[in-house]
Structures are given as structure tokens and as C-alpha cells.
Amino acid sequence: MFELLSERIGDVFRKLGGKGRITEKDVDEALRQVRLALLEADVNLKVVKEFTAKVRERSLASEVLQSLTPAQHIIKIVNEELVAILGGKQSWLVPAGHPPSRLMLVGLQGGGKTTTAAKLALHLRRSGQAPLLVAADTRRPAAIEQLVTLGKQLAIPVHAPSHTVPPATICAEAVKRAKELAANWLVVDTQGRLHIDEAMMSEMVDVKKALQPSEVLLVVDAMTGQEAVRVAEEFNARVGLTGLILTKMDGDARGGAALSIKSVTGVPIKFIGTGEKVDALEPFYPDRLASRILGMGDMLTLIEKAEKVVDQQKAREMEKKIRKATFNLEDFADQLQQVKKMGPLSSLVEMIPGLSSVARRLPEGMDESQVKMIEGIIFSMTPQERQHPEIIDGSRRRRIARGSGTSPQDINQLLNQFRQAQKLMKQLDSGKARGLLSRLK
């Protein structure tokens, strides 16, 4: 979502970094470019003005301009001010004093509210909680059926009405059922509209009175830009919000909503939706997003993604194989499967410091097609060939190519890459490498 903004800001600071000495004029020109980049990204004008004014004031301090690395100081200031407008620190869900805690999701139709309810319930369960999904959207056709289906897929209980009753009644019944199931969180999917109207807001107020939630989260489409900010203001004024969930943060829109919404509404972003899969919901960390916008990567999120998908037992077995130099193509295919679970290659590369520009140059869909081709080649080999790729000669290459729909040249390329990977692993496990690593600790 922030590709263009990140690229524009990166260009500004590369030019600034090329100057030995920075003047007030240089700072003003850099901030003019940053201001234009933020406005093009659909960031609220008032937020842009306040942000650039603070950065300018801090950047013109004598200790910054007279330092040996003024450009780095200014980047640090920009990063800190970005974190500030994004909310400063992570905002957690607040449980009720007595279980079950009640979490009410509100928003317009089309923002992904029902899907987000299921994602949020999954997040709670993975955090050690016992959630109960509540289908209280009686207006949208098939909303209840959709939530029930998602609940079955995730093995999370869903309270759904057996006949037509008001949403407030559904919520009251759900509280009783939560106590029966020993569920400590209710995640309530409420009614939406295509547009904000008086009837909708009255219903939300009634449901809130009946439910008495500790959390009221607005689910809003980040790709709608400043319209998302306006919707958040309206809901906060009428219903009273405790947090926001921005969906479709994996889209290609300009991203201004994420950079404006906290400053304008005062309501913190608590989660972001990063894809269509049921596990594509992440807690929102202002410092991590600011770091990614500035091209500094996000290693913490990358590590957390890896921890979710990596089988620890398999990881230990793989380490032994690497140490004994018995890593083969079957192991290589297994590693590809685990990497695929972490998400698109471009989004993973973007999280590695210094490689955000590489991620932007990756052709769309390249990662998926490349991985499928490699898997096709490996699965067209016999078990013996996977375990001992050195036996693959010309005739075997032609047979594998026919089976995988590729060419012998593709087979050669994969085998060469695999040999390079084996060589690198041996070097990393050598005594010399271990000695170097011990000195770096």
C-alpha cells in the first residue's frame, strides 16, 4: 500500500544524504518533497501540515545541522514523528472486569466486517482465549450463514439466531451461551449499511446499550482513503469507538487513511487486515509501519510470521541435516512449503532492512509462479533423484522437464541454485563462520 510513498521519501533522503553539509534551505526543500508525497498518498492536509512543522522545528536544531551525520538525524526525526501520528505505541484489547468480555464490531457493508470477526476470533484463540462468535447482522442477506461457515472452518463456536429476533436480543442470548461454554470473549458481528444513516446509528446505539461492550471496534476499508477517516469520525461521535481495524492493507491504494485516522479521530488502530486468508490479521504496531514506510524493514513481524508456520521439530531435524551436509531436494521442497505459508515473497522481502526497493521491483505474481515451477520440477523427480540430485544426467533432465512442463534449462538452473545453497550452508556451518559469529555476539 505504501510503495509509492516509501519510494518518494526514500529518494528525498538519498539526495539529502549525498550532501556533506545541510542548510535550512536543504531541509525546507526536502520537507516540501515529503509534503507533496504525503498529499499524493491522500494523507489529511491538517495532519501533513502538523507533521512537517514538527519535523522542520526539530531538524533545524543546531545539534542536528552541526552533527557529522545530519541526514541520519533527520531520518530519525521523521521516523519518530511518523510513529507519533500513527498512534505512538501499540494499543491492546481491553478485557472486561468480569468475563465474558464483549467486543462489538461496527462498520459499513463491504468493509469486511464479517470476515474480520472470524479473523479476530482466531487471533484471540491463538492468544490463549476462548472466543464465541455472535451473528447479530440480521440485515445483510447470508451474513449469518457466512459467519456460521467461517466458524465451522476454524472450529470456533458461533451463536446464531434460529428465528428472526432483534440484534439486542441475540446479544443477550449470546452472553448466556458464553457462560455455558466458558467462553471469555464475545466477538459480535453487527448490522451494516451501504451508507451511514440515522436508522443504522440508532441500531448501533441500542446494541451497545444491551451488550455493554468493553471494546467497540470500527472495521473500515483502508483503500477508501479520506472517506475512511470521515466514517470513523461519524461512528466515534455517535457510537463511541475504542479502536479501529483497517482492512485491505495489502491493497495498492495510497494509504492515507492509515496515516491520518488516529490523528484526526483520536481513536487508535488496533489491528490491520493484510489479506483474504483467515490468519491475515495483525496487531498494529505504529513503529513497525513507520519503519516499513521509510524502507527500514520490519524484522520483528517477519520473525513472528516465521514462528507461526515453522515446525520446531522439523527445524531441528533440518539443522542436523545441514550440519551433516545431507540437505537434499526433498528438504528444499519442504522449506518452500513453509515459506509459502508466510505470505507473498514480495511482502516478506519488504520486511528485510534495505530490501524494500527490491520488493518493489519483483514482478507481480513472480513468487507464486516461480515456487510452483520449482515444486513441479521436484515432484517430477523420483525419490532417489530428490535425495541424490547428482545422479541427474541429460536423459533424466529431459524426463523431468516433460513431467513438469518445463525445459532442461530450467532443471539446470534449479540444480545450480540448489548446489549454491548447499555450498552456502556448509560455509555457514564451518568452524570459521562459527568463530566469526561468536565474535559478533
Asked if residue 358 has pLDDT above 60, the reply is no
Segment 173-189 mean pLDDT? 93
What sign does the dihedral 175-177-181-185 (CA atoms) show? Answer: negative
Answer whether residue 433 shows pLDDT above 50.
no
Nearest to 253 by CA among 209, 220, 277, 285: 220
Taking 60 as the threshold, does the pLDDT of residue 107 lie above it? yes
Cell output for 250: 495489502
Question: What is the pLDDT confidence band of residue 364, given thresholds at 50, 70 and 90?
Answer: very low
The CATH fold of domain 3-85: Four Helix Bundle (Hemerythrin (Met), subunit A) (1.20.120)
Helix (H, G, I), strand (E, B) or coil at 90: coil
Kindly list the domain boundaries of the chain, sorted by start residue: 3-85, 101-291, 302-440
Residue 103 backbone phi and psi in degrees, to 5: -120, 120
Backbone angles phi, psi at 247, to 5 degrees: -95, 170
Bigger pLDDT: 110 vs 246: 246
Q: What is the pTM of this model?
A: 0.69
Check pLDDT > 70 for residue 322: no
Look at 299 and 86; give whichever has higher pLDDT.
86
DSSP codes of every residue in 106-172: E--TTS-HHHHHHHHHHHHHHTT--EEEEE---SSTTHHHHHHHHHHHHT--EE--SS---HHHHHH
pLDDT at 317 over 80: no
- The set of residues, in sequence order, having a beta carbon less than 8 Å from that of 183 and lying 6+ positions away, is 100, 130, 131, 132, 157, 177
441: which 3 cell numbers?
A: 555476539
- Cβ-in-10-Å burial (0-12, 13-18, 19+) of 399 comes to middle
Domain 101-291 bears CATH identifier 3.40.190.10 = no
Read off the pLDDT band of 308 (50, 70, 90).
Answer: low
Q: What is the pLDDT of residue 345?
A: 59
Quote the cell numbers at residue 212: 455493554
Average pLDDT over residues 323-335: 70
**Distance spanning both ends of the chain, measured CA to CA:** 36
Residue 430 has pLDDT above 60, yes or no: no
Cα–Cα distance between 93 and 107 in angstroms, integer?
A: 18
- CATH class of the domain comprising 302-440: mainly alpha
- pLDDT tens figures, 226-252: 888 899 999 999 899 999 999 988 776
Q: Would the pLDDT of 171 be above 70? A: yes
Percentage of the chain beyond pLDDT 70 is 79
pLDDT at 325 (0 to 100): 56
Angle at 280 between CA 274 and CA 282, to 5 degrees: 75
Residue type, 120: L
Reduced to 3 states, what is the DSSP secondary structure of residue 38? helix
Cα–Cα distance for residue pair 40/255, rounded to 1 Å: 10
- Cα 184 to Cα 189: distance, rounded to the nearest angstrom: 16
Q: What is the pLDDT of residue 432?
A: 45
Q: What is the mean pLDDT of residues 94-109?
A: 91
Cell of residue 61, nine digits: 536544531
The answer to whether 3-85 and 302-440 have equal CATH topology is no
The mean pLDDT of the chain is 81
| pLDDT given for residue 297 in this prediction | 52
| Average pLDDT rounded to a whole number, residues 351-355 | 49
Distance of CA 184 to the CA centre of its chain: 26
